[in-house]
Amino acid sequence: MICIIDYGVGNIKSVQNAFDRLGYESKLSCRKEDIEACSHIVLPGVGAFRDAVANLQKSGLVDCLTENVQRGKPLLGICLGMQLLFTKSYEDGVYDGLDFIQGEIVPFQLQDAEKKVPHMGWNELVCHRENPICRGVVEGEQVYFVHSYYAQMANDADLIYSAEYEIDVPAVVNHGNVYGMQFHPEKSSQTGEQLLKNFVELIK
């Protein structure tokens, strides 16, 4: 079963609905017992990095997530959830992340006046390396983004897909059993559903 972490940040029901459409059993929970019992963990999120980290800490989930990742359980961070996977964020201050993937979350500083922040809407995926998460997804397929900050990767080997928005925005990242998607796969039609399916089937 998939455990979708319910820690008070964003509308997570749409993520569960996507797994329902794919025929996978999932549960919304912040209980450590459910996280321990599941096969896959999904960390969604919409909103501010500071609030999200505070909620994870208040719920005692940081240690729980760390222990499960160290045991090799697949973890997927979505949107803000992906940003939480990184070392540090500079969103309205400086805040420590989960440090599962090395890098920092920084604001867009765009020169092109026609490009607005947040980066919102459909954008094409550019492939940087092959990965099981890519199965059935062709370079150039589009996914749906909504974000004002992006990840500066410390290690290019952790980058799977990017999207061009004046700069190369990391779109799908991976380090070991930890994956992140900056866009919303649950809102990205068949491409997003294929990526979610690939994540679930990583250990099948």
Which listed residue (79, 104, 119, 141) is catalytic? 79
Closest residue by Cα to residue 148 from 115, 99, 114: 115
Which listed residue (119, 141, 147, 186) is catalytic? 186
Map out the domains of the chain with their CATH numbers: 2-203 (3.40.50.880)
**In this structure, are residues 26 and 19 in contact, taking their beta carbons and an 8 Å threshold?**
yes
Coil, helix or strand at residue 26: strand
Residue 186 is a catalytic residue = yes
Residues 93-126 have pLDDT tens digits of 999 999 999 999 999 999 888 899 999 999 999 9
Residues 142-182 have pLDDT tens digits of 999 999 999 999 999 999 999 999 999 999 999 999 999 99
